[in-house]
Chains A and B, each alone.
Chain A
Amino acid sequence: MDFEFSPDEQAFAEEVRGFLRAHPPAGFAVDGMDAGYGSGAHSRAFLRALAERGWLTMTWPRAFGGQERSLMHTLVLFEELAAVGAPFGPLAGCQQTAEGIIRYGSETLRRKVLPRIGRGEATFWQGFSEPESGSDLLSLKTEAARRGDEYVVRGHKIWSSHAGIADYGLVLARTDASARRHQGLSMFVVDNATPGLDIRPIRSLTGEVYHYEVFLDEVRVPAGYLLGKEGEGFTQLLRGLDTDRFWGRFYKAPMLRRVLRELVEYANVTERGGAPLARDPGVRRRLATLATDVEAVRLLFYRIAWMIREGLPTPYETALVKVMADETGQAVAALGMEMLGLYGPLTGESRWAKLGGSIQHLYQTSLGQTIAGGTSEILRSTVATRGLGLPAEARA
């Protein structure tokens, strides 16, 4: 048993660190705010720089222009980027969509969209949730009807991160109204430039915009932009959510390690009641407890990555690790706020702010994370039923 990266993977980590030293992340233009997941802000410039290194396509099959490197390389990349707070916000979505297109995509998608992902020119939003379909996602009402070479999509999506600054949406719609809930769903890649799309920002409690609602009014999607086949939407959704929970949260552990390092430094240089905060036994114990929790999360992610690489099924593992990652993130943010005391709520705009106001930002954004991508309640039920074999709860 060995939890370490291979020499080749470690050499790649060093290569990434070298790149980050030569191109400090702070120097890249940002077009969307950091949502606190650990992937930093949304920056197309940074995404393109990663693409230039070939890092967006490195795990793709050679037939699609990739280098067929193992997924551990992506792990290494994400870990190094999160460790320095680089703005790689759109990367997980690109990764996930590319995987879907390589696996299920039509020739059109492979020819028109995939190369753009590889060049860092295409970013994505997810059109899954609807105003009346949150945790009960399968009650969704958005419809897509085939008309000749096109599908005509009508509906209303919500909580789509970065929809207003991305290029394409992955839209889940009902293509067969007569089918049972989880059947008759299909997944479409929808170009943001398509007429009939109305994308409106939703201002979040931080004052910034992460989410959008998207109205689809007779949006015409070419048939070649159907991902896979009609009726496969549910399978792709599950796979997508599974990948999303993994790749969308993997970098949380390295990000939280960075935050804990900052809090340790803060405790070391801050006096409270005439003594260094770092000598407060309560602070020491709670920081150590959370550092241990973060480590536990990291090792669980490693185990899952290894399982994915080995081709082992992961029926509940990503749900379990997402719950723990997001709850640990909330706990770290809450402890940080407590340690900063009255300085905690000060934003980065205040000249008195500590740690650049980053802790209050983390605290606020962390509130959304146990909701996004499957609430902790839904995911605990997933763990119980798929991981422990408990009977599903009766549903209406």
Chain B
Amino acid sequence: MDLHLTPDQQLLVNTAREFLRRQCPPSAMAESVASDRGFSAELWKEISVLGWPGLLVPAEYGGSGGGMLDVALLLEEMGRACFPSPYTQSAVVAATLIANSGSAAQRERHLPALARGDRIGVLALTEESASIDRESITLVGEPGGRITGRKLFVNDAHVADELIVATRGASGLNLVLLDARRPGITVLPMEAMAGDRPCEVSFADVELREEDLLGAPGRGWEALRPALEAGALARAAEMVGCAQQILEIAVEHAKGRKQFGRPLGSFQAIQHACADLLRDVETARGLVHRAATWIDAGRDAAAEVAMAKAYAGRAAQTVARKAHQLLGAISFCEEHSLHLYHKRIVAAALDFGDPSHHLETVATAMGLA
């Protein structure tokens, strides 16, 4: 047992925290979230210079060949700053799918561009059932044919350059990798309460070429599984970061604000609520880190990821709700950043499987018939 971070990981954490503290203070974050794009293109360029989008991309394709623990540590820092970006979609999920399943030509063509942050890749999976189960993928599409239909809840599709679309073919699930500007594809925002930017992606008789196929035909689900685990764990790590920041905001408030002539934090009711926030954050972080180490060690981490995502989703939302209570009326204002953290958590808890979805994975892994 050794829970130290490596010097490289410590450097990554320190660099990320300092960079985001400087470049993405709450005011800038709020402005980015409110913008049409939903994030800052300038900051995306800057983090690309730092090499973050290439963290998971193998070195031969211009990335740094890092692992899921590196990603989790970085996402936690992004969560602390509530940093908005298509990072998880592009640098974690799309990069994993292309690195694992892409042909040599697809890897050559796409991975360096993703790693440089020049192009943004997005997975289009979910449909009207709002579920990420294998059976829920019904959009019919076969390479060499055409697709008509739609995907929903596709985060960051409004800025996507590449779309990875899960379709149902004769031999099972297929993944196809398309240029997002291919004729017949339309992207519309779904207008959520602004935690993420979910989009509706419509396909009107869109051509699917043989070379669009990502991985073997009919083997799409097998390719998706590790990418969905990576996405789920990345969002869990982000929620841990959000919750950590919320905890710090709440504690600072409890120390500084006085009522009845005493700091709020000297009242037991407030102390005990704060203690529970700390518990929720620390336990969620432990589950996330453990799942990440299992993935990096090549172990089957399905149940560990499910635990981390279900727990972090539930815990972080509890932290956010309690923090509103601890901060009182000011936290109900748009100008206070708590609601932005809270909304990010709400969105992240649902993305790549909501708590119920992951608890079902855990239940099965426990041996429940």
Chain A residues within CB distance 8 Å of chain B = 1-6, 72, 260-261, 264-265, 267-268, 276, 278-279, 283-285, 287-289, 291-293, 295-297, 299-300, 302-303, 305-306, 309, 320, 323-324, 377, 379-381, 383-385, 387-394
Contacts and interface: CB of A to CB of B under 8 A. Distances in A.
Interface stretch (B84-92, B278-286, B343-351): B278-286
Contacts of A5: 1
Contact of B274 (A289, A292, A388): A388
B266 interface: yes
A324 B287 CA distance: 15
A261 B368 CA distance: 9
A138 B107 CA distance: 68
A288 B362 contact: yes
B253 to A, nearest CB: 11
A320 B282 contact: yes
Contacts of A295: 287, 307
A292 B360 CA distance: 12
B366 A264 contact: yes
B93 interface: no
Contact of B363 (A276, A285, A389, A391): A285
Contact of A390 (B271, B292, B359): B271
Q: Which range holds the interface residue count of chain B?
A: 35 or more
B318 interface: no
A302 B284 CA distance: 14
Given A279-B369, A320-B275, A392-B266, A297 B1 contact: no
Contact of B275 (A72, A296, A300, A383): A383
Contacts of A287: 363, 366, 368
A3 B251 contact: no
Could you say which of B274, B276, B279, B289 has the most chain A C-beta atoms within 10 Å of its C-beta?
A: B279
Contact of B279 (A289, A306, A323): A323
B104 to A, nearest CB: 33
B271 A292 contact: no
Could you say which of B293, B314, B360, B369 has the most chain A C-beta atoms within 10 Å of its C-beta?
A: B369
A292 to B, nearest CB: 4
Could you say which of A288, A293, A302, A387 has the most chain B C-beta atoms within 10 Å of its C-beta?
A: A288
Given A300-B286, A393-B268, A292 B1 contact: no
A54 B205 CA distance: 75
A6 B275 contact: no
A281 to B, nearest CB: 8
14 contacts: A1-B289, A3-B289, A267-B369, A284-B360, A289-B359, A291-B366, A295-B287, A299-B287, A302-B286, A380-B271, A384-B271, A388-B275, A389-B255, A390-B265
Summarize B's interface: helix, strand, loop or mixed: helix
Interface stretch (B2-10, B42-50, B169-177, B193-201): B2-10
B284 A296 contact: yes
Given A284-B368, A296-B311, A389-B251, A2 B274 contact: no
A3 B275 contact: no
B36 to A, nearest CB: 39
Interface of B: 1-5, 9, 69, 251, 254-255, 262-263, 265-268, 270-272, 274-276, 278-279, 282-284, 286-287, 289-290, 292-293, 307, 310-311, 314, 356, 359-360, 362-363, 366-369
Contacts of A264: 366-368
Nearest to A286: B359
Given A1-B2, A284-B360, A320-B278, A393 B271 contact: yes
Given A288-B310, A391-B265, A306 B283 contact: no
Contacts of A2: 1-3, 293
B279 A320 contact: yes
A1 B287 CA distance: 13
Top 10 closest pairs, chain A to chain B, by CB: A384-B271, A390-B265, A299-B286, A296-B283, A288-B362, A383-B275, A284-B363, A380-B275, A288-B359, A380-B272
B3 A3 contact: yes
A324 B367 CA distance: 25
Could you say which of A1, A6, A260, A385 has the most chain B C-beta atoms within 10 Å of its C-beta?
A: A1
A292 B5 contact: no
A26 B246 CA distance: 49
A292 B310 contact: yes
Contact of B266 (A288, A303, A380, A391): A391
Could you say which of B263, B271, B275 has the most chain A C-beta atoms within 10 Å of its C-beta?
A: B275
Contacts of B3: 1-3, 302-303, 306
Contacts of B366: 260-261, 264, 287-288, 291
Given A279-B369, A291-B362, A383-B278, A306 B2 contact: yes
A288 B286 contact: no
A300 B285 CA distance: 9
A77 to B, nearest CB: 15
A235 to B, nearest CB: 24
B287 A296 contact: yes
B251 A1 contact: no
